[in-house]
Structure 1
Amino acid sequence: MIDEFARQLGALVTPVPRRLGLAVSGGVDSMALAFLVSKLNSQLRDSLDIHAFTVDHGVRQGSDEEASKVQKNLSQLGITSHVLKMKLEPELKTSPKFELIARNHRTRLLYDACASRQIRHLLFAHTFDDQLETFLMRLMRGSSIIGLAGMNTIGATPQLLAPCQPPLTYLRPLVGFTKTQLYDICIKNNVQWYEDHTNHDPSYAVRNGVRYLLQNPSLLPQFLQPEAVKKRLIQVQSLKQKINHRVDQVLYYLRENRLLSLDLDHSVVCLKLCREFLDLPLIAQSTLLLKPLQRIMPLSDPMYRQSSIQSALAKLGPSCETVTAANIQIHFDQKSHAYIFTRAPPYGDQKKAIRLDIPSPSILGQWSDYHLFDHRYWIRVKISDSAAAPQKISVTLDDPLKYMDLFNETLGPQDWPKSQLVAVQPLILADGVPIGYPTLGILKPMGFDVELRLKDSNGTAENSIFEDNLISLFERSKSRHKKHA
């Protein structure tokens, strides 16, 4: 079993990183993972630096005692462990969105714990049983083939990372193991684990209900029997691999011929249509486009919006030139025979919520921390003249027609982009007064500098291949490409 685990881990990352993090809840799956890592470590010439992290959600009474017991069990395996306490406001614990809130907090806690210890790889104990549960849950939601294929065995943290933050890679080396195998590992090696009774309550969460049905197949029709589901899951995963392979081929063609571009300053994606793209099935088209589009979506977790993009692409054509999906406006430009993707202009009460107040750095000439604006741009400021600097610096989105006259000295009327594109560019305010659009090269001197950077895809450099400047899209007579005041 150790050899199989080493093979699975080696297939994800080679060589095995010298420093590893483990996400350990204390249940049988994560304790089996801890045992396997510990056993593998004992066979290596140079020992690994292993840190296990247990998140105490603080929801159930006695959760702190349970976390301490998990630490004790991990110490018996020779693994250094840390308890990460989640601190949530009382009202959030009873929110109908508690699971989502808790997941986001857990993601941040694990990232911060790894980053502070220079850990770049975090292992999770998801099993093949978890994949089956995910398949059925997503089947009920009507997910696409990509979603039905389940969790990736390797990927980046879903947390959006500021430019200065190091990446964190998630590894799931146990997805080829069943829960029964992990029970056997723990029992045969006298590994202690904690059994969370809520995991067996089918009314506690949707996943619990699905798990209960899979464990009681007599309640399921023939086509949803565990063996039938396993067969379908394997078929879907194989189909996903074929789709991804074809997508990679077309993506390479688009890159080589400069047909797909991402304007980093203005948050615009352009795809010049070609037969290679149009011949792809819609599921493959949306898979390809999600790679660059996730960087301009004003969403914290855009990976779940692929079906929306797929539906929008199906509607586009001569009779429907513009559609909106996942807060992205997709325009079919017949003149250039291209799809142009931008952030959809906010409407109504949305505008009020899209505002960020940036604390001014206390030290002259020192950059502030990065702050995420509109889930698209990382922004920071630096005070260059304390006497001229405002008390309050803000960034928002607003109707550009209100402010064109204010900036016509800097940018003539003939140089302005189309109004719907300006409407989604960050507008800087000094003490509530508009002073410019940095992404358009417009910023009145007010004693401070501004830097904006389009978010990356989960902290990776995967989409840097798309970087390009699409000034021609804006129908401007000259480029005013600046990031700083």
Structure 2
Amino acid sequence: MTTTPVLHRSARAITISEFRDALRATCPPRFPQAKSLTHRRIGLAVSGGVDSMALAFLCSKIRIGDPYFRISDHPVGCFYAMIIDHGLREGSTKEANDVAEAVEKMGLRGQVMKIHWTEIVGKDRKPNDLPNVETLARQLRYRRIAQFCKMSKVASVLTAHHEDDQYETVLMRLLSGHGYRGLQGMRTATDIPECYDVHGAYQSGIIDDQQLDNPFYNMRPSGRQRKYMRRDLRYEVDPAVLAKEIEEGLDADAIAMYLDDYDAITNKAKRAPPLGPLDVEDGGIMVYRPLLHFSKERLVATCVENGIPWFEDHTNADPTLTTRNAVRHMYKNWTLPAALQKPAILRLAERCRAKVASEEAEADRLLHNVIFHKFENNTGTLVVTLPNFSFPIVPRRSTCSPTGRRKRTEHYRRIAAVTIRKLLSMVTPERELPPVQQLGPLVSMLFPSLVDEGDPPEPKAYVICGVHFIPLVGDFPLRWLLARAPHVSNVPRPFVASHGLALAKRISKHPTTWKPESWAEARLFDGRYWIRISHRLPCTVRVAPFEPEHQKPFREALDDRSKNDLLSMLRKYAPGKIRYTLPAIYSIYDVSNLLAGGNWWPDWQSKAADGSQEQTDEVGTLSENIRTKTLSEVFAGRLEWEKDVRERGKPQLLALPTLGISLPGLDDWLQWDIRYRKVDHRLLQLSKLGDFRLGRRELRFRVRTQYRYRRKRLRKPWKSSASWRPWR
């Protein structure tokens, strides 16, 4: 007997295997070369709605049958449900606690985090009265999550954005007039937003992790890899192999090692000492959206089938509150045209993502033809030679017709603009890169072969997105220097401040006994450098741009060797106005006497060489005055003197940290740790090749110039021997 099958038209629940597949596709390894066997906590952003509760339930079952299931680089240890209590409506605190109880019943750990609005808007103002309360709440929510993840060593956060949210996002952007790059919708994986200046949260933290005894990302080579490395090193120092190489002669790479001497020889200047490159940051917290391909109906079915409660927010049903609510009300209560319905909009977003991915891949291929001569992250400069675009030589209908050539030129210009954006990302201090449409004039200047109408513009300096494009004209192919644009006078200078040693810790002690404060949290300076400071100076220390008026006093305070190094390094690595974009460390008033080993207080009369006797006497006086609730005349005088110094003092330049030059004696009082912000690893690999990718013509020119100079200086012809053959 044949039974007629029953076709259920309702949505079906999400299975664990489907969710595992979605996680594998959404959370690939960030550092494939790392050997990570340590289980790590995973964060869940839970609001209490049906989507986040379904996500919590699926995560609670993920390790059943596979205890070593990986999310990103690590096996899953446990899940932390992070519940944010915004406090914007009545009953939000009770609802957050109820959500935490429901999550804990699933076997997860719940953490309720409350946002304190009084610290932001004050006591006399209500947050709901703010015009941008939604934007501000989003920013505070993500920053609160980032703080918790840093303390809990969480590097991956899962959110419950689903297919309907993607549809609403793309539809809102379509109504706002976005182009195809804006119509991609939400990404499945992205860096945590609204935390650009939080170290360890946004694209940073990998260096601190590698300094631990047991890092989460194990980059150390295995035993077999070390064995191969030892074998390769033995081959490199083999005398027979070395003699054979000498007999065959120097190759182009060996000649390139001596090319740096040419600049110092021709300029008759002292050769600048080499700069050790700064460490480049990476890592941070990633936000993953594994439910983007599941509809809300399936999430509801998952909760209903498994008896999972959820909590509805009635403000989401108010169409007058936000644009998203209005769009949701529109497509749920009216029938939109077929082109604006959910299937069509999602297909549109998929096509936009495919087009952007194709352009990015083509731009990556073009970057392999870009010659990266030098990338100095100490000064934030990049020197490149850009390739020329060539049209197909074989006659084609698309190249012969004006319309076809115009379309191909427009396509090439888009690829060139995407390439420029990638180069800008290495140097710019801005958070957001300019859109492709704004790079049209720069594309015409950098790629003159892509100008169809009229003559291409002459190479000249150009500023965009805080980056100064400077043409370097010479006998070699045109190079471009990309550097941070000079600071504008009407814009406040960026700065990072570190408070001085507390008065209570030094007022009764000799300066030699002052103990430094612990390392401050790293701060982002000028959008390019992560810097942290530890010092025991009595005044506030600031990191600000190098100012011209401090150059001469700073140079005169250095010893002879440091003075020569400073001049040569500024001339070579930071010529012109580039030097005035370097970070510099200042004290708010003069501390030269302290650095020279002198006293700080003007009335200090030491009874012993180390000041121990006076310290004991004054500590006793301080204890007695505390009991009598009075201050000694000595302490009162010191307070008045320091207040007067603070009011009349002038800033003093202490160090240029990226160049490694500081005033004599500063090492005993101040230490710094500076790193460059994250740069795409593919661009770093290309930039490390440097002059090894020099064109044959330029390499030959530089070698011949050096050859002529040495021949003229030695006043005898250059004779080639059997062990050396000149470059041909």
RMSD of aligned alpha carbons: 3.5
Residue of structure 2 in register with 1:482 after alignment: none
Structure 1 portions without partners, runs of 5+: 472-485
String of CA shifts for 1:80-132, please: whole Å, max 9, x gaps: 11112222312593444444433332222222222322322211111122222
Residue of structure 2 in register with 1:241 after alignment: 357
Residue of structure 1 in register with 2:115 after alignment: 86
Residue 199 of structure 1: CA displacement? 2.0
* Maintained 8 Å contact 2:417/2:443: no
Residue of structure 1 in register with 2:550 after alignment: 403
Residue of structure 1 in register with 2:304 after alignment: 187
Change (3 A) 1:412 1:390: farther
1:433 aligns to 2:564 (yes or no): no
The count of residues paired between Structure 1 and Structure 2 equals: 457
Residue 394 of structure 1: CA displacement? 0.8
Find the aligned partners of 1:85 and 1:277 in 2 and give their Cα distance: 59
Residue of structure 2 in register with 1:64 after alignment: 93
| SS class of match (1:5) | helix
Residue of structure 1 in register with 2:702 after alignment: none
Change (3 A) 1:24 1:415: closer
Which letter maps to 1:397? P
Residue of structure 2 in register with 1:479 after alignment: none
Pick the structure with greater CA Rg: 2
Residue of structure 1 in register with 2:675 after alignment: 453
Residue 52 of structure 1: CA displacement? 0.9
1:325 aligns to 2:498 (yes or no): no
Residue 468 of structure 1: CA displacement? 5.2
Residue 7 of structure 1: CA displacement? 0.9
1:208 aligns to 2:325 (yes or no): yes
Residue 249 of structure 1: CA displacement? 3.1
Which letter maps to 1:372? L
TM superposition score normalised by structure 2: 0.56
Find the aligned partners of 1:375 and 1:157 in 2 and give their Cα distance: 17
* Maintained 8 Å contact 1:294/1:302: no
Find the aligned partners of 2:689 and 2:530 in 1 and give their Cα distance: 18
Find the aligned partners of 1:469 and 1:392 in 2 and give their Cα distance: 41
Find the aligned partners of 1:365 and 1:469 in 2 and give their Cα distance: 41
Residue of structure 2 in register with 1:109 after alignment: 144
* Maintained 8 Å contact 1:377/1:454: yes
Find the aligned partners of 1:86 and 1:295 in 2 and give their Cα distance: 35
* Maintained 8 Å contact 2:523/2:532: yes
Residue 24 of structure 1: CA displacement? 0.9
1:394 aligns to 2:542 (yes or no): yes
Change (3 A) 1:170 1:413: closer
Find the aligned partners of 1:310 and 1:182 in 2 and give their Cα distance: 43
Residue 309 of structure 1: CA displacement? 6.1
| SS class of match (1:259) | strand
1:342 aligns to 2:483 (yes or no): yes
Change (3 A) 1:45 1:434: closer
Residue 207 of structure 1: CA displacement? 2.5
Q: Which protein is richer in strand relative to its size? A: 1
Q: Sequence identity, in percent?
A: 27
Find the aligned partners of 2:461 and 2:97 in 1 and give their Cα distance: 56
Residue 436 of structure 1: CA displacement? 4.2
Which letter maps to 2:287? Y
Residue 464 of structure 1: CA displacement? 4.3
Residue of structure 2 in register with 1:313 after alignment: 442
Find the aligned partners of 2:478 and 2:171 in 1 and give their Cα distance: 40
| SS class of match (1:423) | helix
1:35 aligns to 2:174 (yes or no): no
TM superposition score normalised by structure 1: 0.81
Find the aligned partners of 1:275 and 1:265 in 2 and give their Cα distance: 30
Which letter maps to 1:313? L
Find the aligned partners of 2:329 and 2:315 in 1 and give their Cα distance: 12
Following superposition of structure 1 onto structure 2, how do residues 38-437 of structure 1 map, counting pairs within 5 Å? 38-45=60-67, 48-88=77-117, 89-90=120-121, 93=127, 94-158=129-193, 159-160=195-196, 161-162=199-200, 163=205, 164=208, 167-218=284-335, 220=336, 223-251=339-367, 253-254=368-369, 258-259=371-372, 262-275=375-388, 281-291=412-422, 293-294=424-425, 296-299=427-430, 301-302=431-432, 305-307=434-436, 310-311=439-440, 313-314=442-443, 316-317=445-446, 318-319=457-458, 321-335=460-474, 337-352=478-493, 354-360=494-500, 363-364=515-516, 367-383=519-535, 389=537, 391-397=539-545, 400-409=547-556, 410=563, 411-412=566-567, 415-416=570-571, 417-431=574-588, 432-437=651-656
Structure 2 portions without partners, runs of 5+: 1-13, 30-36, 69-75, 210-282, 392-408, 447-456, 502-513, 557-562, 589-650, 692-728
- 663, 673, 677: which one aligns with 1:444: 663
